[in-house]
A and B are shown apart, each in its own frame.
Chain A
Amino acid sequence: MPADDLTPSASLTAKREAAVAALADVPREPGAKKPDPILVADDVKRHFGGLLAVDVDHVEIQRGSITALIGPNGAGKTTFFNLLTGFDRANSGSWSFNGRSLHGTPPFKVARAGMVRTFQLTKALSKLTVIQNMRLGATGQRGESFWRAMLPFTWRAQETAITERAEELLARFKLDTKRDDFAGSLSGGQRKLLEMARALMVEPELVMLDEPMAGVNPALTQSLLQHVSNLREQGMTVLFVEHDMDMVRDIADWVVVMGQGKILAEGPPETVMSDHKVIDAYLGAHHDQSLAELEQELEAGTLTEEEPAAAETGDGR
């Protein structure tokens, strides 16, 4: 990829214009039909005890676009991600990717179908080096079968090819200097980059990013955003969960708002952010405060409710 892709001006490219144009005539309402959906979900429900965590009637994701999934904490965004990618089981509903039904499909088959996700809490594989992390992402490796693994000549050529591709990606994500470091020694932002690069090794059509910007230092966010927009430039579709409205506005072509498990609103960023339902969902009674301030409060709330807990207990419990 040419280096100038990484400059901020790249945000108004032909691909973005195409994506915006394709979505121009789509009605601004929950469950709106898209001209060329890559992912379609219907009646997806997930209960946790008495709580209905996800209750999505209908949603479509436009191919070749960047769609942001926003919503207050506990809106069911991550759970919805988990359901779509097979990491959690829906109580009911159906969804299809490229016309292929994925209900009940285990996560690894979802990934092989071309729908790859990342996690809110970065899952860098600490005791593997950066390059090993990358190689792991490649699919269809001969050396990953038990019997052939013991016969290196059967997989060596493929391994070399994979390594070359991995090194290209690392260079693009500016991780090439860390090639042989343990992934566990990287900073939080570098891990996010590594996770994204590793997901690209799968050669996905749809990349699902769960809060790609969470916990990344501000200096890195611009470069991360740039990488996300670049995915679209390379013809991939992106669906991402995010809290920060400014970032959403910068890169998203379409925004889907969730609240209490349901899709509340859909539309281009500007439209959605002035939608009353969205403001109510986010702000409740605090209509007077600015969105940015409330975002910050929500973020702070997130920190005590979810993240440290997950960080502490994420390993074994």
Chain B
Amino acid sequence: MDWGNILELSLRELVGVQAIVFALAAIGINVQFGYTGLLNFGQAAFAAVGGYGVAVIVTTYGWSFWLGLVVAVAAAVVLALLLGVPTLRLRADYLAIVTIAASEIVRLVGRSAWGRDVFGGSDGITGFSSAFYDLNPFTEPLELGPFEFRERVLWVLAVGWALVAICTLVVWLLMRSPWGRVLKAIREDEDAVRSLGKNVYAYKMQSLVIGGVMGAFAGIVYSLFQGAMQPDVYATNFTFFAYAILILGGAATVFGPVLGAAIIWFSFQFIDLALRGAIGEGYIPDWLMDSNDTGAVRFMLTGVVLVLLLVFRPQGILGDRREIALDAR
């Protein structure tokens, strides 16, 4: 087994596109769940809507890429309003169920033959990313020690990490303001906040919208990177992953989602390559596992990590243990 190679490939994931995509999705969930206590289990739908926004406008209708971006964000806002209006007045678990249902609705409609003319069916949509890559200022690959990044990837990484930085900055600014204080108070007890004259419903809606728009950014970045918008990328697992990342990094912390995303994708790549290596070298017998099973093992590990974190370190890496202890009331 070539440990150097494995390590090198895994380290790339620390700053890779997957880390960006899931960091964006998790920052959104952090605003909604971490700070406001809203259980949005439909972040995949927001990402899908973002990806479709660009893809449909550019490929299906042949309009401009910039309009596509506007439509993508607007679609996420509309989706948040649609989901929020019926559920934000209800108990937390209703929002959870409605949002997870919505994410499946978006995916099923997106991949259906019925909507194929617009959404491209299960094959999805391609051919919308050229306007984005035309803007690419990088003309040659970048070499950093053992790492080499191609121009195309470099451009996605630059734009992606800029977006992550902007979203993190916005969250940082918001959460130290009185606005963020209202959000955190709603998480603790919304009736108390109502009794103090705050329009809780409006704040929850704002939180849902902002988190959803960040989810849409995730979808836009990923579909531009792939050059394709495929509905099945945005299954419920997408959302669950983002939750795992957020909880690993630390919910209600500014840098938690980013740290969590980088660590999780590094570990995934590392575990996957190490397992494949071990199978290839015969350290793991075939009757137990072949290289096709590494995907399943990775998901199993995600599940175990999620459970162990919540049981033994619910505050994640960056969170404050004292805050969690207060839940014991």
Contact = CB atoms under 8 A, between A and B. Distances in A.
Direct contact of A and B (CB under 8 A): yes
A111 B323 CA distance: 29
A107 interface: yes
Given A87-B191, A146-B206, A182-B323, A136 B180 contact: no
B296 interface: no
A109 B200 CA distance: 11
Contacts of A132: 181, 184
B200 A108 contact: yes
Contact of A136 (B182, B191, B323): B182
B185 interface: yes
Interface centre among A111, A125, A199 (most CB of B within 10 A): A125
Nearest to B169: A150
A136 B322 contact: no
A134 B183 CA distance: 15
Contact of A135 (B181, B191, B193): B181
Given A107-B195, A108-B198, A184-B326, A125 B182 contact: no
A185 B322 CA distance: 10
A111 B196 contact: yes
A128 B91 contact: no
Contacts of A128: 181, 184-185, 188
A119 B185 contact: no
Interface in B175-214: 176-182, 184-185, 187-189, 191-201, 206, 210
A143 B193 contact: no
A85 to B, nearest CB: 7
Interface in B155-178: 170, 173-174, 176-178
Nearest to B199: A108
A149 B195 contact: no
A287 interface: no
Contact of B180 (A87, A149, A195): A149
A118 B195 contact: yes
B191 A143 contact: no
Interface string A174-199: 00000000101100000000010011
B184 A127 contact: yes
B300 interface: no
Contacts of B326: 126-127, 182, 184-185
B170 A143 contact: no
B24 to A, nearest CB: 18
A100 B173 CA distance: 38
A98 to B, nearest CB: 16
A85 B173 contact: no
A74 interface: no
Interface residues of A, number: 45
A128 B188 CA distance: 8
A113 B18 CA distance: 50
B178 A184 contact: no
Contact of B173 (A145, A152, A316): A152
A92 interface: no
Nearest to A123: B192
Given A125-B189, A127-B188, A316-B91, A144 B182 contact: yes
B92 interface: yes
A145 B183 CA distance: 12
Contact of A137 (B187, B188, B196): B196
A126 to B, nearest CB: 4
Contacts of A125: 184-185, 188-189, 192-193
Contacts of A124: 192
A106 B206 CA distance: 18
Interface in A232-262: none
Contacts of A87: 191, 194-195
Nearest to B198: A108
Interface of B: 91-93, 170, 173-174, 176-182, 184-185, 187-189, 191-201, 206, 210, 322-323, 326-327, 329
Q: Which 3 A-B pairs have the closest CB atoms?
A: A149-B179, A143-B178, A184-B326
29 contacts: A87-B194, A87-B195, A108-B196, A108-B199, A111-B197, A119-B191, A119-B195, A124-B192, A125-B185, A126-B326, A127-B188, A128-B185, A132-B181, A136-B196, A136-B198, A144-B182, A146-B179, A146-B206, A149-B177, A149-B179, A150-B170, A182-B323, A182-B326, A184-B326, A184-B329, A185-B326, A198-B196, A201-B196, A202-B196
